[in-house]
Amino acid sequence: MKFVFQLIDSHAEQKSGLLSFDLKFNARQRQHMCDCIEHKLQEIAVKLTFDLEKLGAAFYAINNKMARQLFLSKRKFCPEIVP
């Protein structure tokens, strides 16, 4: 916002058409910055989703391995319980 006021002060003596052009250009720059930030946030969200999926897959694999080991232990030490 400070930049906009400096822009207005620096071009106050010029034609209003040039001033409105500068303000429109500033608005386009601000919109471009917002678009860039939004794009970066989307990239971060995709990466986090991918990382969470990998983490979930790792927990699933660990859980399956532990369940398998528990089943084998029961079968080895308590064969009458496990079919």
The pLDDT tens digits for 11-65 are 454 545 555 556 666 777 888 888 888 999 999 999 999 899 999 999 999 999 9
Determine the structural domain holding residue 63 and report its residue range.
Answer: 2-77
Q: Scanning the structure block, which residue is given the tokens 């058409």?
A: 17
pLDDT at 62: 93
Number of structural domains in the chain: 1
φ/ψ of 82, rounded to 5, equals -90, 130
Compute the distance between CA of residue 47 and CA of residue 1 in angstroms, rounded to an integer.
Answer: 33
Residue 59 lies in a domain: yes
The answer to whether position 47 is within a domain reads yes
Q: What pLDDT, on a 0 to 100 scale, did the predictor assign at position 34?
A: 86
Does residue 34 sit within a domain?
yes
Q: Which residue has the higher pLDDT, 1 or 80?
A: 80
Asked whether residue 10 is assigned to any structural domain, the reply reads yes
pLDDT at 5: 47
Report if residue 83 sits inside a domain. Answer: no
